[in-house]
Chain A
Amino acid sequence: MFQSPLTVITLLAWRGLKQHAFSSFVAAFTISMAGGLFLSTWKIKEEAQKAFVNSSGGFDGVLGARGSKLQLILNALFHLEASPGNLSWEQYELIRDNKGVKEAYPIAVGDNYHGYRLVGTLPELFHKHEWKKDRKYQVQGNGRIFSENAKEALVGNFAARKLNFSIGSKFHPYHGLDFDENKRHADTYVVVGILEPTGTPADKVIWVPIKGIQQMEGHDPAAAQSVSAVLLALRGAAGFQLDMKYNKQGNQATLAWPVAATLASFFDRLSWFEDVLSLVALFVALVGALIIFATLRTVMNEKKREYAILRCLGASRLVVTCVVLAQSLLLSLTGALGAFLAYGGIGFTAAYLVREQTGVVMDPLSLDLGYLVFFPIVLALGFVSGLIPAMQAYRSSLSDNLSPRS
């Protein structure tokens, strides 16, 4: 350990910081918080956007009532927000038969069970549709997909766990998208299958036959021939033609297409919030740098005599300067590692909340080249904060700190 100058410098730096453990901890902790906040603002938004786009369930677009594309996507694919209105069954059949449409599945919403939405659709969605490339929905164990004309339910994995549902469980749906115990429907549904987890919002849904929703006791009989939206998988460039037909020339329905672009516009709207958080992170980082600077100044002032003794033992000015710089690097390195821990904590909490609220699974720890940039930036910040104390150490007069003037 005492053989190489590098290890001697590291040892001197480390022991110096250890002797000022509290100030060193505060400096590293501040850097950790600033770094964690910065990483969170940057990565969580990015990961959330990626997770939402990847959770669109293998659909290219959604056809729904005239209104907001974003609301349509959030309602039909992510099972959030209210439905903007209904389409007629004929409109569904019309788009289903369009040559550019590969798959079309009508959905009907409007009921829930303890806050988990019931979504009515056709059993073909689970037989034919690939929610991800080469991945179809799988039913666990002895379960099966519901029959078109029965009061049966196929429950998403997350919802089944939360509701303690198993095959054979029976339940009464409640009217509306939010749970109200006074709005219980008389119909009784039986769980016939539980889906394998997909990490998409489908996990949070209780899937039932569309006729079940349309003809539920208490629903408006006029709604029996309408659907809330149609989920679409398209062929080639059909999206452009349909966009022209429904959005630019027509006024009966809205085609939300492409899904990724609509979601991106949603996240872009949140960019001001990201800017504010980045600004906060920047200020915290500056405070962290100032604390490193103040800590090293304190260490420097208290250790002037010790550095002079080292010089007296034969240590060069460069060694003493490097000790101060190594201390700033050690503080910022610890801060950078702490930043990843802080980010991990914030990221996992955010991922948990997003999963609970939407069923979308995001991976806050996915590898990113940006991490390689983040690390040197934090180290550079620490290096810069250590420069002035290091220069002080370099210029410090050996005789002034050792010799009595007599």
Chain B
Amino acid sequence: MKSTNMSFLEVKCLRKRFPSPDGGDTLVVDVESFSLKSGAHCAMKGESGSGKTTFLHLVAGILAPDEGEIILDGFEVSQLSESSRDRLRAHTIGYVFQSFNLLQGFTCQENVLLAMSFSGQADRMRAKKLLERVGLSQRMDYYPRQLSVGQQQRVALARALANRPKLVLADEPTGSLDPKNARKALQLLEELCLENNSALLLVSHEEKVIESFENQCKWEAINQAPGFTAEE
């Protein structure tokens, strides 16, 4: 079911609880309202362990919310069946993980092609161009273990953009990189999203990462969850 909406991503009254060790529930996400326009970039700063990743997983349909609505590209995510959410992820969302999560048994090019295959648009030429774009033209047939950490993150960026997603979710994308590689990766991520006209929602606990974005927000200002515990 597709509904019409001005924003590309619209979140309303979203709540997610997890069982706590004492037997009760801990409210981790409590977002009254959040929206992102098509093609817009937003960097969200929040402490580690404050529920940012959970929020991204709710938006991507990886987790189901306890309450609230997530409307993505006109679809109410929590109302979709599991297979519809799979399709939505394949066609609409690109995900960048902190630990890259590349498939170790596959080469760089195959990692990108696999992501394409699930949306039914595997294109070897585009995979090559993307890897050339992220500076890995000489490493296409390398396995992730044969690459440096910075190179692995660039493969992850190429994979996230493989299907020309309308939304890229980046979860601490520079968390494993040194400052120099982190700067390069962020610049590349923004450029790639601009080239593909993809909206970008990036979360990080690092001030320096957030500073490089024009559109910034604080997770703590959006998330009213009283139960969250910030880690040092």
Contacts and interface: CB of A to CB of B under 8 A. Distances in A.
B28 A399 contact: no
Interface residues of A, number: 29
A313 B118 contact: yes
Given A312-B62, A314-B91, A406 B116 contact: no
A309 interface: yes
Contacts of B89: 311-314
Contacts of B91: 314
Interface stretch (A11-19, A202-210, A253-261): A11-19
A406 B116 CA distance: 30
Contact of B113 (A2, A314, A398, A402): A2
A312 B82 contact: no
B58 to A, nearest CB: 9
Interface in A387-406: 398-399, 402-406
Given A16-B105, A406-B28, A398 B117 contact: no
A319 interface: yes
17 contacts: A2-B113, A2-B117, A5-B117, A12-B114, A19-B104, A309-B103, A310-B114, A314-B91, A315-B118, A317-B82, A398-B62, A399-B63, A403-B53, A405-B54, A406-B28, A406-B48, A406-B228
Nearest to A404: B53
A55 to B, nearest CB: 54
A16 to B, nearest CB: 7
Nearest to A306: B103
A8 interface: yes
- Among A18, A311, A314, the most chain B Cβ lie within 10 Å of the Cβ of A314
B106 A15 contact: yes
B49 interface: yes
A8 B91 CA distance: 17
A2 B122 contact: yes
B105 A403 contact: no
Given A2-B113, A403-B53, A312 B106 contact: no
Nearest to A399: B63
Interface in A225-284: none
Given A8-B117, A19-B104, A399-B63, A3 B122 contact: yes
A313 B97 CA distance: 11
A355 B51 CA distance: 77
Interface of B: 18, 28, 48-51, 53-54, 57, 60, 62-63, 82-83, 86-87, 89-91, 95, 97, 101, 103-106, 110, 113-119, 122, 124, 159, 163, 228, 231
A406 B89 CA distance: 22
Contacts of A357: none
- Among A2, A315, A318, A399, the most chain B Cβ lie within 10 Å of the Cβ of A2
Nearest to B231: A406
Interface in A1-59: 2-3, 5, 8, 12, 15-16, 18-19
A316 interface: yes
A277 B73 CA distance: 65
A314 B90 contact: yes
A19 B83 CA distance: 28
A314 B93 CA distance: 9
A237 B122 CA distance: 75
Contacts of B116: 2
Contact of B83 (A305, A316, A404): A316
- Among B90, B95, B114, B159, the most chain A Cβ lie within 10 Å of the Cβ of B114
A313 B90 contact: yes
Interface in A334-392: none
A314 B115 contact: yes
Contacts of A305: 101
Interface of A: 2-3, 5, 8, 12, 15-16, 18-19, 305-306, 309-319, 398-399, 402-406
B90 A309 contact: no
User: What are the 8 tightest A-B residue pairs by CB atom distance, in nearest-first order?
Assistant: A314-B90, A314-B118, A2-B122, A15-B105, A406-B49, A2-B117, A2-B113, A316-B86
Contact of A309 (B101, B110, B117): B101
A3 B63 CA distance: 29
A398 B119 CA distance: 18
A318 to B, nearest CB: 8
Contacts of B105: 15-16, 18-19
A23 to B, nearest CB: 15
B56 to A, nearest CB: 9
Contact of B57 (A12, A316, A402): A402
A317 B86 contact: yes
Contacts of B119: 314
A317 B118 CA distance: 12
Contacts of B106: 15
Nearest to B82: A317
A5 B28 CA distance: 37
A15 B91 CA distance: 25
A318 B63 CA distance: 18
B120 to A, nearest CB: 8
Given A309-B101, A313-B118, 6 more contacts: A310-B103, A317-B82, A318-B83, A403-B53, A404-B54, A406-B28
B96 to A, nearest CB: 11
Contact of A406 (B54, B101, B104): B54
B103 A406 contact: no
B57 A313 contact: no
Nearest to B98: A404
Nearest to B18: A405
Contact of A311 (B49, B50, B86, B110): B86
Given A403-B63, A406-B53, A406-B54, A314 B87 contact: yes
